[in-house]
Structure 1
Amino acid sequence: MLGEVFSFVHLNVQEFLAALYLATDLSDLFNQSTMSDLLKSAVDKALQSENGHLDLFLRFLLGLSLESNQTLLSGLLTVAERSSHHKEDTVQYIKEKIRENPSTEKSINLFHCLNELNNHSLVQEVQEYVNRRNHHPGKDRLSPDLWSALVFVMLNSDEKLDNFDLHEYHPSEECLKRLMPVVKASTKAVLCFGNLTGESCANLASALSCSSLIELDLSYNKLGDSGVQLLSNGLKNPNCQLKILQLCNCSITDEGYTDLASALKSNPSSHLRELNLDYNKSGESGVKLLSELQEDPHSNLKKLL
């Protein structure tokens, strides 16, 4: 007769047990250099994962690799001393990966990994930047790793992310791309006069389908019809929560107006109630389509400028 069988359904428990198994059952097979190699390999595999399914496993494994935790696990380890490694080597390797990685989302998990290794140097550096920014907004330029650190700090802050203003950092497409996770977590994003082009609209369209954004101001950017077409793809998504969209003076013509009207018409669950298109190059047909939508009793669009 088989003994008791336990089933651990929650993903966090599964990830922890997997990390615990690797940290204990295999610890006697690794010397100092190979244990470090194992951790670096785990970092690489987590970064290669498209859905992030190794992120928690990696955090647990790095935490268990610390000497203080190895001591606590001494009853499970065959030779605890052999699983120790030079922590600083792993810390520096993770920092290199943060600098190399263009994805802010993937870098965020690496900052959690640094926390597991009790290293907060990049976060402390970006905290100093935040303090300087409060006195001189938009003056400093950050390196890619510190952009990621800034996102990590803001997303893990106790303060609620209500309004995001690009001018508090640096009005550019690069800055917007780096801080996109913060934009997604905010309810209002002010991106006017941001030196943005249509290229930014692809990321914004994706953000509209999975964010808290209720108000978005893109006025006085050279988005053009191509940018508005991309943005319209986000407005079509039934998960889009946007209620107010400001597109004043964005070089939009009749074609862009038509794309906006088509997007809103194709999404009966659209929440958009206010649309500002002042100072654009519209024609009669585009304005007519949007005006008809405004008059439609089934449409939420009530204010059209």
Structure 2
Amino acid sequence: MYPSHKTRNDPGQSRVKELSDLLQDELCSLKTIRFLKSPAAEEACEYLTGVLGKSPLLLKELDLSGDKLGDLDGEKLSALLMDSHSKLEKIMLNNCDLTEKSCSVLATVLSSKTNLKEMNLNNSRLLDSGVKEICEGLKNPVCELKILNLNNNCITEGDCHVLAAALNSNPSNLTELDLSENKLGNPGMKIILTLFENVQCRLEKLKLKCISITDEGCAALASAFHSNLRELDLSRNQIGDSGVTEISSLLRNSQCTLQILSLNNNCITEGGCHVLAAALNSNPSNLTELDLSENKLGNPGMKIILTLFENVQCRLEKLKLKCISITDEGCAALASAFHSNLRELDLSRNQIGDSGVTEISSLLRNSQCTLQILRFLKSPAAEEACEYLTGVLGKSPLLLKELDLSGDKLGDLDGEKLSALLMDSHSKLEKIMLNNCDLTEKSCSVLATVLSSKTILKEMNLNNSRLLDSGVKEICEGLKNPVCELKILKAEAERAALRAKAATLDEKLALDVEEANMVAKLKARKERHALECELAAAEAKVKVYKEAI
């Protein structure tokens, strides 16, 4: 018989594992187990087990974003995080109203010997006082935090001074810092860049999206270059072509080992592309990901960027060119400049027509093509459906004229996302098969929306998909829409299967059975009657379809 609980002992790590395994044993009736070192830690553990449905002692990541923290006292959470039995390495407190006291508690945790390596406090409305409290923890030599995310927290230039001072006093651990969507401006950015003056700085990823910097901030970045930096995100700023020129001087540096560069939405034009391409061609062997989405490149700018692929040392694997005003002309240039290292290409939200799709399709048929993800659809929902189906089918549905999602291939894909894909002008699907599926009324409503839209869909197979009357009515709403150009609708297998089953039962009933088998014969008659009802319902569905057409 198992003990009901064990408290304020120190079972050690191997015993903790055994006790945790015991809790997961399906034969174990134990609901609560206590072996932490303080009542506060026990209370926090019990509260979080109720909220999360699992003991936090079994987790390496703890997500308390939103209102999950509830009424739990910060000091009790602190006690749990600092307990030697806690294995938590990552904590998420995004979208929380963190008070100065809450931040003081987090500072205590950071100043203690824990396993914590990542802290996410995005959109948690930290005040200046809260930033100062957290910085007290960051500068403690005991703190071993590697990843700190402070996105959208109204951090100002003044807070940057405090943060930079804290990180400079304990620089050897932090590898990722996200200060995006804060009010830094060029002055705040320059202060953060002083981190790179410290030879012990280990920062590899720096995210500064939407912090209102210009070419002035880019000039400071180029002069403060640090060789450990692997990823830089300056998206949604106003750096323009002159800012690109400054960053290009960094990229030409032979010591630059930058692998990921995001310059999304920065007012970059064809002129900036010339400078950027020249810099990357002079030092091509490191960059693997480039994002120039939502800039004013057009076909001329895209063609310039594609010259990177002429360099045999080019290592680009991911290229994002969303919403840059390219047309079929740009797609033709892409097809001719294909590079075998490219794994992911995003051309969504551009003006690509049928000839552009043809160009891209010819690229995909190239035996040397290693593209795994290709996006050029008009909505995120269509893109998500396309990506999901590519994984299921092993081929992009954009290359198909027939889509077979019979059985359970549809999986967890939301019907509305599938609908978005089928209605996208780039879809060439003429036939869809959804045989042997459990189609709900909502699923049928989505199909009705597809049928009521301008598509090239000509055939729909819904054989043996157990449609309810409500589902049939939904599909018929689509069929009677003047836009619908469906030529073939198949929903016969359900009726055929019922007839076959009925025939089998008829054979059983026709046999001479002994009196001992009369019960079985009566059961067969009941089944036959139920089948007649189902068959009548199936015939009625067919009649409804015919009337709608």
Q: Which of the five TM-score ranges fits, normalised by the shorter chain? A: 0.5 to 0.7
Q: What residue is the counterpart of 2:228 in the other structure?
A: 300
Kindly report the root-mean-square deviation, in angstroms, between the aligned alpha carbons of the 2 structures. Answer: 2.7
In 2, distance between residues paired with 1:133 and 1:176?
A: 22
What's the offset of the Cα at 1:198?
2.9
What's the offset of the Cα at 1:220?
1.2
State TM-score, norm by structure 1: 0.52
> Which structure 2 residues correspond to residues 26-37 of structure 1 after superposition, within 5 A?
none
Q: What residue is the counterpart of 1:159 in the other structure?
A: 86
In 1, distance between residues paired with 2:94 and 2:50?
A: 14
What's the offset of the Cα at 1:249?
0.4
Note if 1:273 corresponds to 2:200. Answer: no
Do the aligned partners of 1:167 and 1:194 also contact (CA within 8 Å) in 2?
yes
Aligned with 1:237 (options 169, 172, 182): 169
State TM-score, norm by structure 2: 0.30
In 1, distance between residues paired with 2:69 and 2:121?
A: 18
Kindly tell me: are residues 158 and 124 of structure 1, through their superposed partners in 2, closer, same or farther at Cα, counting changes over 3 Å?
A: closer
Do the aligned partners of 1:198 and 1:228 also contact (CA within 8 Å) in 2?
no
Note if 1:285 corresponds to 2:216. Answer: yes
In 2, distance between residues paired with 1:239 and 1:257?
A: 17
Structure with the higher fraction of residues in helix conformation: 1
Secondary structure in 1 matching 2:206: strand
In 1, distance between residues paired with 2:217 and 2:201?
A: 19
Do the aligned partners of 2:121 and 2:151 also contact (CA within 8 Å) in 1?
yes
Q: Deviations over 1:178-213 (max 9, x none)?
A: 233334531011111111133222233332233111
**What amino acid sits opposite 1:233 in the alignment?**
A
What's the offset of the Cα at 1:157?
4.8
What's the offset of the Cα at 1:262?
2.2
Q: Deviations over 1:26-80 (max 9, x none)?
A: xxxxxxxxxxxxxxxxxxxxxxxxxxxxxxxxxxxxxxxxxxxxxxxxxxxxxxx
In 1, distance between residues paired with 2:210 and 2:76?
A: 38
Note if 1:172 corresponds to 2:98. Answer: yes
In 1, distance between residues paired with 2:102 and 2:170?
A: 28
Do the aligned partners of 1:222 and 1:250 also contact (CA within 8 Å) in 2?
yes
Secondary structure in 2 matching 1:179: helix
Do the aligned partners of 2:205 and 2:232 also contact (CA within 8 Å) in 1?
yes
Q: Deviations over 1:63-107 (max 9, x none)?
A: xxxxxxxxxxxxxxxxxxxxxxxxxxxxxxxxxxxxxxxxxxxxx
Q: What residue is the counterpart of 1:208 in the other structure?
A: 138
In 1, distance between residues paired with 2:69 and 2:195?
A: 38
Do the aligned partners of 1:224 and 1:250 also contact (CA within 8 Å) in 2?
yes
Kindly tell me: are residues 140 and 190 of structure 1, through their superposed partners in 2, closer, same or farther at Cα, counting changes over 3 Å?
A: closer
Aligned with 1:129 (options 25, 40, 47): 47
Secondary structure in 1 matching 2:224: helix
In 1, distance between residues paired with 2:166 and 2:221?
A: 17
Do the aligned partners of 1:187 and 1:213 also contact (CA within 8 Å) in 2?
yes
Do the aligned partners of 2:117 and 2:145 also contact (CA within 8 Å) in 1?
yes
Secondary structure in 1 matching 2:123: coil
In 2, distance between residues paired with 1:274 and 1:155?
A: 27
Structure with the larger RCO, 1 or 2 (CA within 8 Å, 6+ apart): 1
Do the aligned partners of 1:216 and 1:246 also contact (CA within 8 Å) in 2?
yes
Q: What residue is the counterpart of 2:25 in the other structure?
A: none
**What amino acid sits opposite 2:204 in the alignment?**
R
What's the offset of the Cα at 1:223?
0.6
What's the offset of the Cα at 1:235?
2.4
Secondary structure in 2 matching 1:304: strand
In 2, distance between residues paired with 1:271 and 1:227?
A: 21
Do the aligned partners of 2:74 and 2:105 also contact (CA within 8 Å) in 1?
yes
Runs of 4+ aligned structure 1 residues displaced above 6 Å come to none
Instruction: For structure 2, list consecutive stretches of 5 or more residues without a partner in the other structure.
Output: 1-35, 54-62, 234-549
Q: What residue is the counterpart of 1:195 in the other structure?
A: 125
Secondary structure in 2 matching 1:242: coil
> Which structure 2 residues correspond to residues 1-305 of structure 1 after superposition, within 5 A?
120=39, 122-134=40-52, 137=64, 138-139=67-68, 141-142=70-71, 146-167=73-94, 170-173=96-99, 174-183=101-110, 185=114, 186-209=116-139, 210=141, 211-265=143-197, 267-294=198-225, 299-305=227-233
Secondary structure in 2 matching 1:205: helix
Secondary structure in 2 matching 1:286: helix
**What amino acid sits opposite 2:98 in the alignment?**
S
Structure with the greater alpha carbon radius of gyration:
2
Report % sequence identity: 19
Give the count of matched residue pairs.
181
